[in-house]
């Protein structure tokens, strides 16, 4: 028995489109990174097959999914359903210039991003260069949810401490790491509550800040 349905092209177009739509993914968390070898934004999620089956299937998929553009100087292989999906900056290699705030500010899609997650360690690094906690999220005027994410492998990581006159390599406990991430979340909640982002104030709706344990 053949596994290929050769009569599919002969089906009415309305039925073909409904079959395509049945394969659409539900809400996804989409890791976004900048690949220096490829010189473009990429994701760990595999591309959906509909993008390469036919022009009809691709057009159907693109009726709900958009090729995400951050810094417009670079191309992207990331496709997102803004109504459902969460963009997840999960790695320090998330920006061509290491400035995520600038990338988001220059994105033509910044007002369509509703859900954004950022790795907690990446958030800590970003604060070194842009101390203000709202530097990244204030660029997203319609943001509904922002999450700081502590990944499993990060819940027990080396940290430098001083004992006497020697610098020693110690290991933070899981509780210490969670407490640190919770601290970042509370600071971010406080800065959002203080206001100052025009689009949030006009809508009377501010982003919900969450901590995710991944």
For 1-14, the pLDDT digits (tens) are 556 666 777 788 88
Q: Please tell me whether residue 166 adopts helix, strand or coil conformation.
A: strand
Cα–Cα distance, 153 to 79 (Å, whole number)? 27
Pairing of strands 79-80, 66-67: antiparallel
With 0-12 / 13-18 / 19 or more C-beta atoms within 10 angstroms meaning exposed / middle / buried, residue 94 is buried
- Reading the chain (214 residues) residue by residue, the pLDDT tens digits are 556 666 777 788 889 899 889 999 899 999 999 999 999 999 999 999 999 989 999 999 999 999 999 999 999 999 999 999 999 999 999 999 999 999 999 999 999 999 999 999 999 999 888 888 899 999 999 999 999 999 876 555 555 444 554 544 455 677 888 888 999 999 999 999 988 788 888 888 899 999 999 8
């Amino acid at each position: 028995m053949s596994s290929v349905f050769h009569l599919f092209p002969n089906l009415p177009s309305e039925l073909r489109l409904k079959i395509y739509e049945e394969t659409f993914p539900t809400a996804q968390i989409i890791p976004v990174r900048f690949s220096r070898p490829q010189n473009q934004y990429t994701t760990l999620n595999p591309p959906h097959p509909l993008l390469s089956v036919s022009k009809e299937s691709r057009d159907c998929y693109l009726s709900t999914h958009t090729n995400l553009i951050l810094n417009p100087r670079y191309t992207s292989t990331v496709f997102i359903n803004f109504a459902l999906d969460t963009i997840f900056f999960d790695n320090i290699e998330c920006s061509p210039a290491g400035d995520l705030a600038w990338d988001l500010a220059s994105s033509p899609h910044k007002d369509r991003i509703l859900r954004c997650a950022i790795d907690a360690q990446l958030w800590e690094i970003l604060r070194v260069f842009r101390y203000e906690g709202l530097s990244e999220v204030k660029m997203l005027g319609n943001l509904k949810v922002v999450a700081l994410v502590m990944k499993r492998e990060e819940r027990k990581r080396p940290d430098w401490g001083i004992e006497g006159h020697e610098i020693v390599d110690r290991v933070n406990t899981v509780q210490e790491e969670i407490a640190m991430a919770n601290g970042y979340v509370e600071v971010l909640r406080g800065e959002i509550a203080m206001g100052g982002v025009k689009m949030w104030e006009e809508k009377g709706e501010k982003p919900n800040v969450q901590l995710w344990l991944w």
